[in-house]
């Protein structure tokens, strides 16, 4: 079983729809949970991060973490064509014996929002 599983999609929705993106994980050592957005032919950029179980909201975006189920979600409300991108979940744990954090990424979900 891979440490992080993410449905690759592709996912196509009409403008204004609510989008739900999900990842599951198996490693209980993961401490922080992040969502990156990657536009075509660009580098990933950090969208949101969370630490504890529960919800975190930032404008039209809500990140949700359920540590008991090892499941994280990203919701996008009132989706816009400019939201069309690949969304990658990422989870961090400390390197053994060090102070740095290692990130493990999901494979990404390709989202297209149609006008």
Q: Which residues bind another protein (CB under 8 A)?
A: 8, 32, 34, 41-46, 49, 51, 88, 92, 95, 98, 100-103, 105-108
Q: How far is the CB of 15 from another protein (least distance, A)?
A: 27
Please identify, using beta-carbon distances, which residue of 35 and 113 lies nearer to another protein.
Answer: 35
Please identify, using beta-carbon distances, which residue of 17 and 53 lies nearer to another protein.
Answer: 53
Q: How far is the CB of 5 from another protein (least distance, A)?
A: 11
Please identify, using beta-carbon distances, which residue of 19 and 34 lies nearer to another protein.
Answer: 34
Q: Which of 34, 29, 15 has the alpha carbon at shortest distance from 112?
A: 15
Q: How far is CA 37 from CA 21, 27, 55, 97, in A?
A: 12, 23, 19, 30
Q: Which of 33, 42, 19, 51 has the alpha carbon at shortest distance from 89?
A: 33
Q: How far is the CB of 75 from another protein (least distance, A)?
A: 20
- The secondary structure element, H or E, covering residue 41 is none
Q: How far is the CB of 81 from another protein (least distance, A)?
A: 22
Helices (H) and strands (E) in the chain, counts: 0, 11
Please identify, using beta-carbon distances, which residue of 79 and 106 lies nearer to another protein.
Answer: 106
d(C-alpha 89, C-alpha 48), whole Å: 10
């Amino acid at each position: 079983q891979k440490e992080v599983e993410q449905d690759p999609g592709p996912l196509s929705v009409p403008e204004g729809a609510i989008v739900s993106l999900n990842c599951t994980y198996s490693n209980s050592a993961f401490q922080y949970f992040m969502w990156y957005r990657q536009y075509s032919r660009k580098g990933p950029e950090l969208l949101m991060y969370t630490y504890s179980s529960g919800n975190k909201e930032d404008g039209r975006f809500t990140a949700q973490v359920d540590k008991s189920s090892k499941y994280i979600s990203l919701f996008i409300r009132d989706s816009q064509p400019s939201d069309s991108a690949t969304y990658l979940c990422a989870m961090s744990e400390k390197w053994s014996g060090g102070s740095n954090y290692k990130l493990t990424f999901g494979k990404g979900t390709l989202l297209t929002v149609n006008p």
